[in-house]
Amino acid sequence: MANQEILIEAKALVKRYGDFTAVNGIDFQVRKGESFGFLGPNGAGKSTTMRIIAATLTRTSGDISILGKDPEKFGPEIKAHLGVVPQTDNLDNALTVEENLYIYGRYFGLSKKFIKPKIEELLDFAQLVEKRDVKVEALSGGMKRRLTIARALVSEPEILMLDEPTTGLDPQARHILWDRLFRLKEQGVTLLITTHYMDEAEQLCDRLMVMDKGSIMAEDSPAGLIKSYSTKEVLEVRFGSDRNAVVAPQLKEMCERIEVLPDRILLYAEDGESLLHELGQKGLHPLTSLVRRSSLEDVFLRLTGRTLID
């Protein structure tokens, strides 16, 4: 991957709205064929960064190039090679599923001859063959999302940008979408994803940029981030809301790191089961306990002192 061509490069990128700084001097590179994720809570600056890349928002300062071009000077030339899936579906409600795919192809100047077989391919990809003549407003949330993604693929874009692709979807719909995105990745499409779901980031992204308050907190592969910023395992214990804070100082001495949350305490250790056993030996018996592997949520907690979904 390191030898692959750089498709997106940002240096000291800043976006301000009056006194509010949405993006605060960030640097990053995205290479061809990579699946790159922006992970962070709402308001972290992910969507703003995506809009600057998509040439629909001007930056305040810094440099950015997409496919070697400045989006403020070459908007249409850059957009010609992007597939954009916005946070909120903006399909044409007056048209059918098939017509939505058709007209989007026309916006890219594609011929009817090319679009016609492409529609069949995309309907199949999005599992919407039977819904082709249905008006968009009659589709479920998951179907609309799949159609929005299929629509973004009509021009076979070099870069597919997905802003919170599975927010609001049920677990089954999320897994279908993930499967479709995996297939695209296998075809060599560069994916740019913003999400505040750590499981989504772990599933889909080769590399992640953790953002908070417009700044980059860390950048690495999901496994690399966990290795750098957390332990192998986490022991989650509950002593009851009154006692959690009381026992916390005692627990702190028994593990590498501790996070006291309102409802539970997280104990970071290489071996969670051994730690739980040790707790019992010292007469500390939590009401509930759970040993799990460290996740990106723990990384985020370590980096920012907050959970992803506050």
Partner 1 sequence: MAPRKGSLVLVDAERVKRWGALAVVEVRVMTYLKYLPALLSVAIANPFLYLLAVGVGVGKLINTHSGGVDGVKYLTFLAPALLATAAIQNAMDETVFPTLEGFKWHKNFFAMNATPISGKQIVNGVLVAAMSRVLFSVTVYGIIVYLFGGFTSARGWLSILTSLAAGASFGAFIMGIAAWAKNDDSFFMILGRFVMMPLFLFSGTFYQLSTMPIYLRWIGWLSPLWHTTELGRFLTYGHHITALMFVVHIGYIAAMFTFGITFSHRQFERRLTK
13 touches partner 1 by CB under 8 A: no
Which range touches partner 1 (CB under 8 A), out of 21-29, 73-81, 171-179, 261-269? 73-81
Measured between alpha carbons, how far is 18 from 259 in angstroms, rounded to an integer? Answer: 36
Q: How far is CA 221 from CA 36, 108, 114, 133, in A?
A: 9, 34, 38, 42
Structure tokens at 14: 């800043």
Angle formed at CA 86 by CA 85 and CA 88, multiple of 5 degrees = 125
Minimum distance, C-beta of residue 281 to partner 1, in the bound complex (Å): 60
| Residues in region 35-54 near partner 1 by CB under 8 A | 54
Handedness of CA 31, 32, 35, 36 (dihedral sign): positive
Given the complex with partner 1, which of 114 and 182 has the nearer CB atom? 114
Q: Is residue 187 exposed (0-12), middle (13-18) or buried (19+ Cβ within 10 Å)?
A: exposed
Cross-sheet strand order for the sheet of 61-66:
20-31, 6-17, 61-66
Considering only residues 151 to 170 of the shown chain, the ones binding partner 1 according to CB under 8 A are: 151, 155-158
Binding footprint of partner 1, residue count (CB under 8 A)? 39
* Residues ≥6 apart with Cβ < 8 Å to 225: 208, 210, 218, 296, 299
Nearer to partner 1, 9 or 99 (CB): 99
| Closest to partner 1 by CB, 42 or 187 | 187
Binding mask 79-118 for partner 1 (x = CB under 8 A): xxxx-x-x-x-xxxxxx---x---xx-xxxxx---x--xx
E-strand ranges in 42-145 read: 61-66, 82-85
Which residues form the interface with partner 1 (CB under 8 A)?
54, 56-58, 75-77, 79-82, 84, 86, 88, 90-95, 99, 103-104, 106-110, 114, 117-118, 121, 151, 155-158, 187-188
